[in-house]
């Protein structure tokens, strides 16, 4: 099965359901303005009650290195996802693998990928109003299936379109947030189960979330 991250985890019950259904990773969003924001202490508490086999990924938006390092050490995290306007230089100063999120609007949105030396790129849908979690897809044909980098596909994915998305993009992994929610930060367990029922038809890519 393709490696899958369930992002926007805010409570233990949702985390357990994600793990039991086959998630490779869970995402904690430390961006205070997100409706799915979580505190360091809450993320640490959830993490301590999960198997070490599940990767913990911290999502940050224009945070400083001191705060990110505190999260890495406290939770602890296996990988970080930088979802703001971070520079290539900023991304290169961490001991953990880094995913750089890019908000895709057009072909030019992809042109900066060559500037970064990161473990992979999380491609999400562009919005003027928010950093991710839009629930909308972008034009998958922009990728043309030609990227040599590890691509983690995000943005508007759910059980209905996930197999078509994987066929169209051939990503290294997928990231799902709003597509398995009842409301921001609260997961729908039936949607998670249906998602993974479909994902079991896919093959592993070998990508590792940290």
Average pLDDT over residues 19-34: 97
List Cβ neighbours of 67 (8 Å cut-off, separation of 6 or more).
30, 60
Q: Which of 7, 14, 71, 91 is catalytic?
A: 7
Q: How many helices (H) and strands (E) does the chain have?
A: 6, 10
Closest CA to 70 of 43, 102, 99: 43
Q: Which of 71, 91, 124, 175 is catalytic?
A: 124
Structure-derived torsion over alpha carbons of residues 148, 140, 187, 48, reported in degrees to the nearest 10: 10
Note the pLDDT tens digit of each residue in 157-182.
Answer: 999 999 999 998 999 999 999 999 99
Asked if 71 contacts 79 with a C-beta cutoff of 8 angstroms, the reply is: no
pLDDT bucket at 105, cuts 50 / 70 / 90: confident
pLDDT bucket at 11, cuts 50 / 70 / 90: very high
Q: How much is the pLDDT for 103? A: 82
Q: Does domain 4-199 have CATH number 3.30.360.10?
A: no
**Tokens representing 115?**
């500037």
Beta-carbon count within 10 A of 16 CB? 18
Asked if 121 contacts 89 with a C-beta cutoff of 8 angstroms, the reply is: no
Please say if 7 is a catalytic residue. yes
């Amino acid at each position: 099965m393709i490696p899958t991250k369930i992002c926007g985890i805010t409570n233990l019950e949702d985390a357990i359901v994600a793990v039991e259904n086959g998630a490779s990773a869970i995402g904690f969003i430390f961006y205070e303005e997100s409706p799915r924001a979580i505190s360091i202490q809450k993320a640490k508490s959830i993490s301590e009650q999960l198997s070490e086999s599940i990767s913990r990924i911290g999502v940050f938006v224009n945070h400083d290195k001191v705060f990110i390092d505190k999260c890495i050490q406290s939770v602890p995290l296996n990988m970080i996802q930088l979802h703001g306007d971070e520079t290539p230089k900023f991304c290169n100063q961490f001991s953990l693998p880094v995913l750089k999120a890019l908000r895709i609007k057009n072909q030019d949105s992809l042109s900066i990928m060559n500037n970064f030396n990161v473990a992979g790129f999380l491609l999400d849908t562009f919005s003027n109003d928010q950093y991710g979690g839009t629930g909308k897809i972008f034009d998958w044909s922009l990728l043309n299936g030609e990227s040599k980098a590890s691509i983690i596909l995000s943005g508007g994915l759910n059980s209905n379109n996930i197999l078509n998305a994987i066929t169209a993009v051939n990503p290294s992994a997928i990231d799902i947030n709003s597509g398995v929610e009842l409301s921001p930060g609260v997961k729908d367990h039936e949607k998670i189960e249906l998602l993974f029922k479909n994902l079991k038809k896919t093959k592993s890519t070998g990508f590792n979330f940290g």
